[in-house]
Amino acid sequence: MKSLSLKINKIEIPFLLAIIAVLIFPFHSFGQNTNLGPAPKVITPGLVTTPPSDAIVLFDGTNFDAWESTKGGGVKWDLKKGIMTVVPGTYDIMTKKSFGDCQLHIEWRSPAIVVGESQNRGNSGIFLQRKYEVQVLDSYNSETYIDGQAGSIYKQHVPLVNACLPPGEWQTYDIIFNVPVFNDNGTLNSPAYLTVLQNGVLIQNHVELKGKTSGEAIYEKHGKLPLSLQDHRCLVSYRNIWIREL
């Protein structure tokens, strides 16, 4: 007993306290997450050319089954070699399904042969819920008003940078959209927000929308609505479109 006592006396006090702490407070409890909610859903991430496993594919290059004309009836845009291209004067197209909060991936290309200037150069648009536009435009070495260039939230938010590739090259938009929320009486409870990455570069960072981006910037109560693509009478092409409902 005497020898044991001597050994204990030689142990440094801080080390002894550490041992006692471990015995009183089990190691696994330190830093343990106390959130007892459900774990995030496990999905298979997409590769560069394939959508995630939980995505709704809106266009894979084979047909227009998920789309219709905003004027009613079938889509009259051109479909060749897995690519859809605007046919000027055939009107906007929209999804048959309506969406709310979402993550959208879409690839677009302005014509390789440059025609027109400013807003007449490779112009189209991606309208979340047919009301909130992310501008599509050939803004590569091309001048226009800054809140109307590619990647702008049209007439509301200028992109952080111009991340455009040359005309004729495929470009990507990855968009996170949070819908506006309305009170029962139709008044606005919280506005819509948009985050946009162009070609992997953040160009809109959770910006607050002032309302719809065509005409007067006001909010009108609505629920889920379709996604639409604009016929601005320019030969803009699209491919590989998918969406994830959030």
Condensed to tens digits (0 to 9), the pLDDT of residues 43-74 reads 465 556 689 999 999 999 999 999 999 999 99
In the predicted model, is pLDDT for residue 6 greater than 80? no
User: Within 10 Å of residue 150's Cβ, how many Cβ atoms?
Assistant: 26
Collapse the DSSP code of 79 into the 3-class scheme (helix H, G, I; strand E, B; otherwise coil) and give the result.
Answer: strand
What are the pLDDT digits (tens) for 147-205? 999 999 999 999 999 999 999 999 999 999 999 999 999 999 999 999 999 998 999 99
Q: Are 66 and 59 in contact (CB under 8 A)?
A: yes
Question: Phi and psi (nearest 5°) for 47?
Answer: -85, -170
pLDDT at site 20: 46
pLDDT at 214: 87
In order of their start, the domains of the chain are: 56-245 (2.60.120.560)
Can you give the pLDDT at residue 227? 98
pLDDT, residue 19, reads 46
Query: Mean of the per-residue pLDDT values for the chain?
Result: 86
Q: 163 in the Ramachandran plot: left (φ > 0), alpha (ψ -120 to 50) or beta?
A: alpha
Q: Which residues pair with 239 in a beta bridge?
A: 107
Residue type, 100: G
Per-residue tokens: 190: 């919280």
Please give the share of the chain, as a percent, with pLDDT higher than 70: 80
